[in-house]
Copies of this chain bind each other. A is one copy, B any other.
Amino acid sequence: MKAGKKPPPALLDNKLLAALPAEAQQHLFPHMKPVDFPLGKVLYESGDALNCVYFPTDSIVSLLYVMESGASAEISVVGNEGLIGISVFMGGESTTSRAIVQSAGSAFSLPSQRLRNEFNGFSEMRMLMLRYTQALITQMAQTAVCNRHHSIDQQLCRWLLLSLDRLDGTNLIMTQELIANMLGVRREGVTEAAGKLQQLGVIEYQRGRIQVINRHRLEELCCECYAVVKKETDRLQAFPVAA
């Protein structure tokens, strides 16, 4: 199934890095190191101070809150449009969530101090990072709304679309169990919802591999939450850098 050898990940595969002004790229790129993220790897736990931040290229990372009971809920998801570790420049050093790899792949790491320096010194860099952070905030807000008002079916659609947007193809390597953890629902609930989608011919899946057949239909079945986040994220990325 693997299409030969993957091309090595490039720094510019990350949209945030690609959008940086040339000067910032020159400052930062020499300090970036490629890293591999296996599925399930925990990048940091709640309360951990961060030594470095990560810019995903073809990996996806979930920010998850884990309750005392062990139950969990996804707060937001980060792919090649962003970075892991906003608390480094937001000033808190740590957050209350866990960062866990949801889809294996690559990323680039950068020591926190390098990012902080650049962030404080250069306003263009800062604006990019903060606008990305606002997009992340929008995603969190919509997650709260979706958790309150929408069915598992709808939420599964949202989740699949968010993941698809951060990957190349139409294949997701992901068990229903893991999706259930992310959504904070039972595994059986996901089985049921996924079964419906398969019957409708929207997706096909076998043992931990989900293929999206009809993305358009998926968007129709989804609640408004996906579109709201997508639209706002696009808007925030589209701003001219030299505002």
Residues of A within 8 A of B (CB): 63, 65, 67-68, 71, 73, 75-76, 86-87, 89-92, 95-97, 120, 123, 127, 130-131, 133-138, 140-145, 147-149, 184, 224, 228, 232, 235-236, 239, 243
Contact = CB atoms under 8 A, between A and B. Distances in A.
Contact of A73 (B71, B138, B149): B149
A186 to B, nearest CB: 12
B224 A92 contact: no
A145 to B, nearest CB: 5
B134 A91 contact: yes
Q: Indicate how many identical chains form the complex.
A: 2
A147 B75 CA distance: 12
Contact of A95 (B97, B131, B138, B184): B138
B134 A96 contact: no
Given A134-B91, A144-B140, A149 B71 contact: yes
A224 B67 contact: yes
Contacts of A228: 96
B131 A92 contact: yes
Nearest to A63: B141
Given A96-B138, A138-B96, A149-B184, A91 B243 contact: yes
Name which of A143, A144, A224 has the most chain B CB atoms within 10 A of its CB: A144
Name which of A135, A142, A243 has the most chain B CB atoms within 10 A of its CB: A142
B145 A65 contact: yes
A29 B175 CA distance: 55
Given A65-B141, A86-B134, A90-B131, 8 more contacts: A63-B141, A91-B236, A95-B137, A96-B138, A96-B141, A133-B133, A143-B144, A144-B144
A141 B65 CA distance: 8
A91 B147 contact: no
Contacts of A136: 137
A110 B138 CA distance: 24
